[in-house]
Amino acid sequence: MTALQSREFSLPVRVYIEDTDAGGIVYYVNYLKYFERARTEYMRSLGYDKPAFPGDDLMFVVSEANVSYQSPARLDESITVTARITNTGAATLTFAQTVLRGATCLVNGQVTLALVNSEDGRPRRLPATLRQKVADS
């Protein structure tokens, strides 16, 4: 893996009733959904819509996720979800991610995506154009 510090991408999110448990606290798995939204919008900002590589039979899959829950988000709060690429491998991107309420970190984590062939699931090298866009961001 290569150490890399991309810009931090931020996505504002409102907590809706569908995100919470009976007590009005965000259900733990929904933080992974927030992380996914931020990564998707970050990649979109680099020019990669879903599917990321149309016509090339390539797609990203999550190969690893680590999450640390520090404080809950609650119904109707405005939170910010961040995504920043910290490492690249031959076929992977590793993101550092956070969920913030103002300056307070509620959740942080690390998610690694692997680029694979959508037909056979085998890893594929990251395209040079993607590497360059990440390096420039």
How is residue 3 written in tokens? 């150490």
| Of 63, 65, 61, nearest in space to 117 by CA | 61
CB < 8 Å & 24+ apart, contacts of 49-55: 51/118, 53/127
- According to DSSP, the residues that pair with 101 across neighbouring strands are 104
Say whether 76 is catalytic.
no
Selected catalytic residue, list 19, 21, 56, 120: 21
Residue with tokens 């690893």, as numbered in its chain: 64
Question: For residues 131 and 75, is the Cβ–Cβ distance under 8 A?
Answer: no
Asked if 91 contacts 19 with a C-beta cutoff of 8 angstroms, the reply is: no
Q: How far apart are CA 51 and CA 60, in angstroms?
A: 9
Q: Which residues are catalytic?
A: 21
